[in-house]
Structure 1
Amino acid sequence: MTASVEPGVAEFGPSDFTYLHSDGPGAPVHWGMLLTLGDGATLTLDAVRERVAQRAGRYELFRIGVRGGRDEAPEIVVADQVDVPAHVTEVHVDGDLHEQVAALLSEPLPQPRPYWHLTLVTAPAAQYVLLKVHHSLSDGIAGAAFSALLADGSDDDLASFDRFATSPRFRVGTPDDEVLANARAAFEKQWMDGEDGRAWPTLTSSGRRETAAFSASTRDLRRIARAHGASVHEFLVAAIGRVVSIAPPVSDGPQASNIRVTLPVTLDPEFRHTGNAVAVSLLNLPGDEPDLDAQIARARAELTLINDENLGLALAAVDDAPPIEWSDMRTIVAESMKRMSPDLHIGINPGFTRVRSMLGRDIVESTAMSPLIGYSFSVTGLVLGNRTTLGIVADPAALPGYPARFVDVLTEVIGES
């Protein structure tokens, strides 16, 4: 069941394999995108399936799946066509939206079918679409290609997604030896600097997820950030630091004075790739600093360090690495994550799509949600046009009820600012 693809699109590389090494029972490694639809005629499942059927042949990327990839090396499987009914389903929600979203994010994507799924979520007063894509297939930036499955627009409009679907899979290449050595040394120092004073609840093997979402005007966030002499990126990281400082997840235990954060950075400055160009860098935030301006100063210093020292290169899968058996590499990845032992994840990402409607319904908000890879709490920001959203994902066995509480306090923090 194979077919030809554009050169490179189905040729997974080391960065893509990392997410297969990280996947496992109770730890599904797919990201999610929740689209909130504006007012209009109720969409039917048949209408959504019809649109996807029209678009599923546009890119071979949509037909790529994986067989294996846990205990043994993966086989990349390219289907002759997409089984649309299997990949596009519907759920009806009468209660809490995020309970349903969390349940859907907890379900792994089946192999070896193409590694994505769409769910039309119909509630009494609103409709949503949840897209799930396995991280080995695409990072969030290249994931913009999946907008072409649903977006309204002409062929010229949809062509804006081509760079995320037909480019070769990203490769790190072979960095300069001195640059790489400096990045690794800076990473180790950052790791050591973040060791003391940690008390954040750790990820469990429950496999369950709990979600929440925050949304604000991008213009308002820029105005507030400027008032504090900060960029939006610096301000949001600092606001998160203030929230976890004044509302820690555990009220009856020790409060962390330091929070170790994994911060994704892209190694593709042109934002033109298929697959994964995301690298992990470390950022240390105060866990007991209620002053927002102090948090901003710390966030700025940490973000400057990450940029100046090319910290993302430290753990990047370079092209000239010696070949290692699949099972051994899986062990290395697991031990690396265990040693790093991050507390939470913060990603603040730009949005790339100019198409803002599907099947005649406006897409009023797009909220990204990241997998939990070693950390128990994730905040993923998406700055897209006039709205900025934060998708919150947590392990409820470690942080029961915390996502909703986090959003409530974040709303207060930004309102006070």
Structure 2
Amino acid sequence: MPLTRLRMDELVNAWVGDDDTPFHLGLLAVFDPGPFAGPDGVVDTGPVADELSRRARGVPELGRRVLWTRWGEGRPVWVEDPDDDLARHVEVRTLGPDADLATWSANRAATPLHRDRALWRADVVHGLPGGRFAVLLVVHHVLADGIGGLRLLASLLDEAPDAVHEYGPPRTAPVPAPPLPSHRDLVADHLRRWRPARDGQHRPRAPSLARACRALAQYRDAMSDFSGPLPRTSLPRVVGPTRRMSVTTAPLGPLRAGAHARGATVNDLLLAAVAQGLRDLLSARGECRESLFVRTIIPVSLDPSGQATSMMVVDLPVGEPDPARRLASITGRTSARKARLRATGGTGQDLLALPVPVARLIIPWARRRGSARIHLSVTNIPGPAHPLWFAGAQLVQAFPVAPLVPLVGLTVAALSYNGRLAVAVNADGTIRDLDTLRDGIAASLADRAREGHSADAAT
């Protein structure tokens, strides 16, 4: 049987990351206790972990791992591990009385995953105020990106409080996973893929010269956004092993109305709020000046599925004191960047068609070079507009935990769920004034939400 090799985009995600900046995505889900609360109101986490393990067995992506290959064996292979018990991926944790859930989650998300198992982990956390419990799902970007990670979490949840979760077709006995492919199997499959096609079989073809030229043009166009000197600030730093995270939320409906009233998008409002938070942060540090900008990189979806297909770089006008002019500037810049990406077809797919040895050199090098030319990253993940449940316990809040990259000690990630926008600021643990940034973001979003309420009232 042909083996399922990692795609080039998955392989790229396996190349990046190190001990201090693993390429992990976290999703923190906070639940009301629901049926898991005992007579004393304390959540019994044992049944939560058992239910989570059972549901994970019904999600194919959570039952496969990467078989890392050696020279001559071809690309790594997706396999179902016959020795992997998915219950080992679910752990129970108690949050201490003085611990902060957000910061604990950011540090836990940066804890390495076992590369010889399926690349995910779930922690059931109790000890939260109000008797609530949380589930922190951590996946490697090889397994899923932001949208994909959210879909994995949603596949473990229910659409209604009394829903019966399906675990797949019933089986009288577990079907054992096939044995892992041997060195001989891997080499034979690798060679088979490059033999001349026979009997109408499709064989991969080497990238054409035209496509290689398009890939180089896309690379030059992408790297041109990083040109020009960066203003000197205290934001760049070598990222260490510890994290600090701070969160806030805002009503999504009024934000949409406020964005529409100003000819902007919710994502533009988020960027403007980040600019306000950075202005407050750098002003408190004595670094803000009129011409100051902060460079951010933003995932962009040019696909109807919402999957991120490209990246754009935007300079946030932090030195601009007027919030309205700041938002207008950001809206103009994001519109221009998106138009250019559509015109040039800048999805980066031609870069992924380069031969593996060439891509192995170019893409990680470009990522390292790019990370030295930005201050932070900002991402906005669209989530479910309706409430979700876990075996009768309602999901009340959900926060994304985005990864850090070397030399970029800040990342802001937003997630919409059930009518609210949750924003999580993840940072290197040496940044002690993170709440100043968070408070500035919260204040800006609150101002835009009030404008949205006023706009709705006027109509």
Q: Do they fold alike, i.e. is TM over 0.5?
A: yes
Q: How does 1:15-414 map to 2 (within 5 A)?
A: 15-40=9-34, 41=37, 42-68=42-68, 74-80=76-82, 82-93=84-95, 94-95=97-98, 96-125=100-129, 126-148=132-154, 150-153=156-159, 154=163, 186-192=221-227, 195-199=229-233, 201-248=235-282, 251-253=285-287, 257-271=292-306, 277-310=308-341, 314=346, 316-318=348-350, 321-325=353-357, 329-340=359-370, 341=372, 342-352=374-384, 354=386, 356-374=388-406, 375-397=408-430, 400-414=431-445
Distance change (3 Å), C-alpha of 1:268 and 1:142 = farther
Distance change (3 Å), C-alpha of 1:270 and 1:252 = closer
Q: Report Cα offsets for 1:125-177 as digits up to 9, x if no partner.
A: 23211110101111111223322553135579999xxxxxxxxxxxxx99989
Question: Which one-letter code corresponds to 1:245 in the other structure?
Answer: R
Which runs of 5 or more structure 2 residues have no equivalent in the other structure?
169-206, 449-459
Q: Assess if the C-alpha contact under 8 Å between 1:238 and 1:296 holds in 2.
A: yes
Q: Assess if the C-alpha contact under 8 Å between 2:56 and 2:156 holds in 1.
A: no
Distance change (3 Å), C-alpha of 1:307 and 1:253 = closer
Distance change (3 Å), C-alpha of 1:299 and 1:184 = farther
Name the stretch that deviates more: 141-150 or 67-76: 67-76
Distance change (3 Å), C-alpha of 1:379 and 1:65 = same
Question: Which one-letter code corresponds to 1:151 in the other structure?
Answer: L
TM-aligned CA deviation for residue 337 of structure 1:
2.1
Question: Which one-letter code corresponds to 1:136 in the other structure?
Answer: V
Distance change (3 Å), C-alpha of 1:80 and 1:218 = same
Q: Report Cα offsets for 1:185-234 as digits up to 9, x if no partner.
A: 65344322x53425352242412221111111112322333454432221
Distance change (3 Å), C-alpha of 1:207 and 1:68 = farther
Work out which of the two has the higher radius of gyration on C-alpha atoms and give 1 or 2: 2
TM-aligned CA deviation for residue 90 of structure 1:
1.4
Q: Assess if the C-alpha contact under 8 Å between 1:151 and 1:356 holds in 2.
A: yes
Equivalent position SS for 1:351:
coil
Question: Which one-letter code corresponds to 1:202 in the other structure?
Answer: P
* Mapped partners of 1:226, 1:295: distance in 2: 16
Q: Assess if the C-alpha contact under 8 Å between 2:411 and 2:427 holds in 1.
A: yes
Question: Which one-letter code corresponds to 1:116 in the other structure?
Answer: W
* Mapped partners of 2:69, 2:366: distance in 1: 18
Q: Assess if the C-alpha contact under 8 Å between 2:216 and 2:351 holds in 1.
A: no
Q: Assess if the C-alpha contact under 8 Å between 1:52 and 1:149 holds in 2.
A: no
Q: Assess if the C-alpha contact under 8 Å between 1:20 and 1:69 holds in 2.
A: no
Q: Report Cα offsets for 1:344-390 as digits up to 9, x if no partner.
A: 11111211475611121111111111111242211111122311111
TM superposition score normalised by structure 2: 0.74
Name the stretch that deviates more: 340-349 or 68-77: 68-77
TM-aligned CA deviation for residue 68 of structure 1:
4.8
Equivalent residue pairs, number: 389
* Mapped partners of 2:138, 2:53: distance in 1: 17
Q: Assess if the C-alpha contact under 8 Å between 1:152 and 1:355 holds in 2.
A: no
Q: Assess if the C-alpha contact under 8 Å between 2:127 and 2:133 holds in 1.
A: yes
* Mapped partners of 1:391, 1:124: distance in 2: 18
Q: Which aligned runs of 4 or more in structure 1 are off by greater than 6 angstroms? A: 69-73, 155-159, 173-182
* Mapped partners of 2:391, 2:83: distance in 1: 22
* Mapped partners of 2:58, 2:126: distance in 1: 27
TM-aligned CA deviation for residue 261 of structure 1:
0.9
Q: Report Cα offsets for 1:25-68 as digits up to 9, x if no partner.
A: 21111101111213532543322232233322323211222355
What RMSD in Å do the two structures reach over aligned CA positions? 3.5
Question: Which one-letter code corresponds to 2:415 in the other structure?
Answer: L
Equivalent position SS for 2:108:
helix
TM-aligned CA deviation for residue 282 of structure 1:
1.4
* Mapped partners of 2:286, 2:272: distance in 1: 24
